[in-house]
Structure 1
Amino acid sequence: MRLKVFDTIDDTLRLLDSNMPLYREAVEEIHDYLKYLFVGQDMIVDMNSRIKSKESLREKIIRNRFYVENDTAQQILDHLSDLIGFIIECRFIEDEFHVLKHLRETLNQKNAEDGYYYHEQNPNFFLDVQSRQPQIQKNGFAIYRIDGYYLKNGHKINVELQIKALVHSFWGDIEHKLVYKNTNYYVYDDFMKELLGSIKANLTLTDHQLKIIYDQMQEESRLDTGITENSFEQLISKEINDLFALKLNESIGFTLNLKKTSAILGHYIFIKDIRYDGGNNDRISALFRTFRKMNAIKMDFENEIEMDANFHSQDIFIHTLGNHLISVLNKDYDWFVFFKMLFAIEPGNNMEDFTLFLNVIKNYLVDNYWLNTSFLKLPMEEAELVHNECAKILAVSLCEIGRIDIIHDDKMIAINKAFVTFIEELETRVISYHDFMQYQQAYYEEWLNRLKEIFS
């Protein structure tokens, strides 16, 4: 006698087949609507869709024991969250959050019955956009996955929407084929997890490198001055180096090697005044007029810089590093010269310039989006506390190194790479905020040893 489960499966597959024309129409309408929602959003690369296949549905009914929880074929389809699946592909990992943010801003009407959201122009398409994202999968990795449904001809059709960067789509294919569909996976469980984790880490690094290249290409296409972003930044750095080498010699009778200090100042000025000002020609001209004006005045590299000792910032990294730098800038001559240069270039209030510079340094060393989406296994409040503690660990360790080369370009690149690795390792070890604080000193010493290797 045949098992009842296979009769249930056959009934469900027949129902799926009979509803297929309805599902195909729904896919086309949802696809058109999503394209409409993201018109003009250049971060979107592609949108893919699929209807659950018979083979996949048969497997899922057994794997997830749907035949136990549901009595009829219709109930199974009603509880199948991914009957229709959509993937919005974006260029880079950081764009995943921006896509979600756009959906949250657009689908801003809440359905009182189930808490899902829709846009008033289309009351048939609902998504749970306010759910916590990204979600943690069984494999421990994060994914932007949003449940929803579509109302059509009296039917409620469940929809699953995923948001994936190109590297995450590639990663998903690898994992699905090598793990989810591989019956031998469990024999090599630990080995496969370690190997796949390494692959994903490399893909994340690739995404970061591609983003840098893409941004560079975009900037080069926008600048109409005949030079690239990189060459313009180098030009600013050279102007700074030449100007202050002369001024330093005039003030104290000799000069120092200012190339690396000038390079970080050039990067800071370019980021603050040029890149995010759209390459405004008036601002660029004003910058070089400032250089020419400073060349005509005498500068003092002997008397102290006056700063407000009561520096405070809501950001723990900026607060910690900022207070340290204020305590040493009139004691350590390298830092003294650096901030003399910074405050001479910037015409505004010294403390405002100081704070802006610290923000640029933090963004250079720590990607806020990356850090804030780490430790997702912890409750949201605990994760935020751990994020702050990790930022503080980084700031305190930089204070301990102390030398001005902590802001040199090559060192900051190395620090960023090492810190990313350190946090990814911590994610696998920390099980709660209390656990993190219990071993905080040990974590700090472990990180400090890695940092010292960069400066050895």
Structure 2
Amino acid sequence: MKLELFDFIDETLELIEKRKESIEKVANSLEKFFTDSFFIQDHFLNVSYRIKSPESLREKILRHNFYIKYKTPENLLDNLSDLIGFRVECRFIEDEDKIYRDIMKLFNIKCKDGFYTNCLNSNIMLQLEDKQPQKQKNGFEIYKIDGKYCKDGVCINFELQIKSLVNVFWGEIDHRVLYKNFNYMLTEDFFRDIMSSIKDNLSMIDRQLMLVYNHLNGMDASNSLTKRIQLQALLSKIIHDIYIVKIRQEIGFVLDFKKSTDVIVNYIFMKGGLEESEHYSTNFLRVLNRLNEIGKNHISFNRYMNFEREIFFNDDFTRKIGNSILEIINKDFRWNLFFRIIFEIEEGNNAEDFEGFLIFVRYRFHENLMLILENKDFIDEEKEEILHCILNTIATNFCKDLDVDFLSDCSIKKLNNTIGKAFENIESFNDWIENKEKLIDMILKHDF
């Protein structure tokens, strides 16, 4: 005969399944509310939630004897504080207190039993009279707030946590290594010492990241070039280190693609155009958060690269280079890796990212040519003819070998310098006609 305890668990899980749609609806409403309320704050990053899984709830009922305490599944759900778990994420540990103060300012209408609501959505209430941050059983502190969503006489409980990036990572370690490890009690002191050491190191990393962030934000506009170079170098190294580990794990060998990551970072920082020039720190943190997600995921390097639609080309230059890359992108590992990294960082539509990158490559040459020609004695039609000829020649040179290093910053600067010197003695369109074949031959023989 089955124990009543397990009948109670089954009935509770059936009740949650029956209410699943309404619980999901409440969770989505809460996620939107907290995102809309805090997205304007610089220290705010993200809101995420999870609805308690059947396995987790079954374990909790057994661990805490909820069957004896609450008697019925309905009573249990009415008192389960973390049926929905929310996490408000911020950058640094000291930002956790800032988020908490933001919450205190927003939820300033007192209800009863220590709960407070707000003027934007009175259905949402938070218990704000408990001391924060709370001390956990493991001795570490956490901002953890009980909440409830009440509408039309029905209340659903949720738990709101505030966590910095390092504490999100720490929480995963603590939960998976200790809480889920049933051998932990056998060597409790040893584990506690090790975990305490890890926590201290994470706190140190948090302080170091904050110093980097404050340093970057403290740079004035006159140092924007230095700021950009520093950010790009750091981000390129992070990308390289993440992917080199994953390549070694899956493929079994290591290749040098540092130049490729430099180009990718250059593209990421330039793709927003001039409007993005004052927001390098924001862009850096956006990509850093994305790389944090990529680092946790499995990446397959033997998958075919697909596009959602046919690629659109803006002109002959992008068409010539684009079609050449498309022919080899699923044959040459370095090209495949190059665009795989771009597509994973930027997410979204692969075709749009590919088109954007081709425009970026064209921009690197086109802007240099415009600077060379602006002080020459050419009319607009003559400039367009020269631009078209040189860009087409550059594309032809690229298509000869299809080496990804052609796109490196060093190679592009070298070719642009070569073109600039060739135009030093060209002042008129007649000069161009006389020297055209010589200049084209020089570009085609350019060694990158």
Q: Which has the larger radius of gyration?
A: 2
